[in-house]
Amino acid sequence: MSSAPDEDAAAIVARALSRRPAKARPRFLRELLAHTAAGLVVIEGERAAGEAVYRLADAVVARGGRRPCGFRDTGRR
């Protein structure tokens, strides 16, 4: 996937998602999260990566289970 150097992460992910069927998007995002966390371990170290993952999990919990419009829980984890 090539991208312009000044393209932000949200635009890159949105483009990647738009190229996948709707049913493949959740798996792609889970894999992206795993690879991102692994990359942070390599680049910034385990402690910094752990902090980033912790903050992400905290943000999910803080949402209180609310889902954006159009998202539904499939029950699969």
In degrees, rounded to 5, the angle at the alpha carbon of residue 7 between the alpha carbons of residues 46 and 41 is 5
- Give this prediction's pTM: 0.66
More confident residue, 67 or 22: 22
Residues in Cβ contact with 48 at an 8 Å cutoff, skipping those fewer than 6 apart: 40
String of DSSP letters for 9-63: HHHHHHHHHHTS-GGGHHHHHHHHHHHHHHHHHHHH-HHHHHHHHHHHHHHHHHT
Parse the chain into domains and list their residue ranges. Answer: 23-68
Q: Could you report the per-residue pLDDT of 36-64, keeping only the tens digit for each?
A: 999 999 999 999 999 999 998 888 888 87
Q: Are the C-beta atoms of residues 1 and 16 closer than 8 Å to each other?
A: yes
Confidence grade of residue 10 (pLDDT, cut at 50, 70, 90): very high
Q: 25 pLDDT exceeds 80?
A: yes
Q: Are the C-beta atoms of residues 28 and 16 closer than 8 Å to each other?
A: yes
Q: 5 pLDDT exceeds 90?
A: no
